[in-house]
Structure 1
Amino acid sequence: MNNYLVEIVNHLTLDLLIKMVEIESLGFGSNGGLDEWGLSPLVRYGRVYILKSFEKEIGLAEVLRCFENPNEAYIYGVSIIPNYRGKGLGKFFVQHIIKDLSDMNFRRIVLTVSEENKSAIHLYTSLGFSTVDYLKDEYGKGIHRIKMCLDLS
């Protein structure tokens, strides 16, 4: 994984914003990818990670802090563009995010995943996440999610 780098997006340019929207679109299609309206505030008020290969942006992840429990982080989304999938990069990327959140003293990481996304469920399970809930109609009628958690304490 020497050719890959994970960075936190601290400064947003128009070119980077366009690239981030493209990664979201390629990663999620029309089912959940963020646009400019969602990504810009997440950079400013959440945490956005970008995965790079030789200066090319190939992955994106967004993280929020839970207001009810400030020691809990919520991974909103993780996406890798299709040409780079199946190479262990998702695991590399999420491991980096887990370490960063742990270093910031978060005690728990929560995320949701589509019940159809078997590869993501397998990835998260392999990293120690466990299923804690089934969220029926979470994103609308018939769009269910599996809630998974990782305890860091």
Structure 2
Amino acid sequence: MEYRIEVLDEYNNNLLDELVNLETQAFGTGGLNKWHLVPFINHGKVIVIYNSTEPVGLAEIMRDFDNPELAYIFGLSIKEEYHNQGLGSEVLNYTLEWLANRDIKEVELTVAPDNEPAYHIYKDKFDFYKEEHRPEEYGKDEPRLVMKLSL
């Protein structure tokens, strides 16, 4: 199966609906909706992986105002039926290369401590290191591990 990855610069309501569905499937109520995705597309960056014309995964990234050499990966998700095919790694690799080509020196993301598959991919495959544990990053009982990578 052939996939393509691109930085999204144009969108329509159908595409936004598909991306919101991906986000909701991956993150539940924590997933982005149209009100979040549109500013990410227009002012941050959204990277999408497609199977033909169907979006099957995405990553949202933003640059840090206090440290312009730091980028934050807000989210990375792959449609459930495409899990365990290496597509998340493809999107992450594309994202890291894209950032490195834009003078980003460091990348940060957060991951739920109980999301061991994602944690191990970030740590073992991409060499992110755990910098910090935030016990209530998104409120009570919503801890996150902060992970960083030098490019």
The alignment's TM-score, normalised by the length of structure 2, stands at: 0.96
Structure 1: unaligned runs, 5 residues or longer: none
In the aligned structure 2, how far is the partner of 1:92 from the partner of 1:25?
A: 21
In the aligned structure 1, how far is the partner of 2:17 from the partner of 2:87?
A: 22
Q: What's the counterpart of residue 130 of structure 1?
A: 129
1:11 correspondence with 2:10: yes
3-state secondary structure, aligned to 1:59: strand
Q: What's the counterpart of residue 115 of structure 1?
A: 113
Q: Percent identity?
A: 34
Q: CA deviation at 1:47?
A: 0.2
How large is the RMSD of aligned CA atoms in angstroms? 0.9
Pairing of 1:24-39 with structure 2 (within 5 A): 24-30=23-29, 32-39=30-37
1:57 correspondence with 2:66: no
Q: What's the counterpart of residue 85 of structure 1?
A: 83
Report the AA paired with residue 81 of structure 1. K
3-state secondary structure, aligned to 1:121: helix
In the aligned structure 2, how far is the partner of 1:147 from the partner of 1:77?
A: 13
| Cα deviation code 1:58-83 (max 9, x no counterpart) | 00110000011001000000000100
In the aligned structure 2, how far is the partner of 1:29 from the partner of 1:142?
A: 15
Q: CA deviation at 1:135?
A: 0.8
Q: What's the counterpart of residue 66 of structure 2?
A: 68
Q: What's the counterpart of residue 147 of structure 1?
A: 146
3-state secondary structure, aligned to 1:62: strand
Q: CA deviation at 1:29?
A: 2.1
The alignment's TM-score, normalised by the length of structure 1, stands at: 0.95
Q: CA deviation at 1:3?
A: 0.8
Structure 2: unaligned runs, 5 residues or longer: none
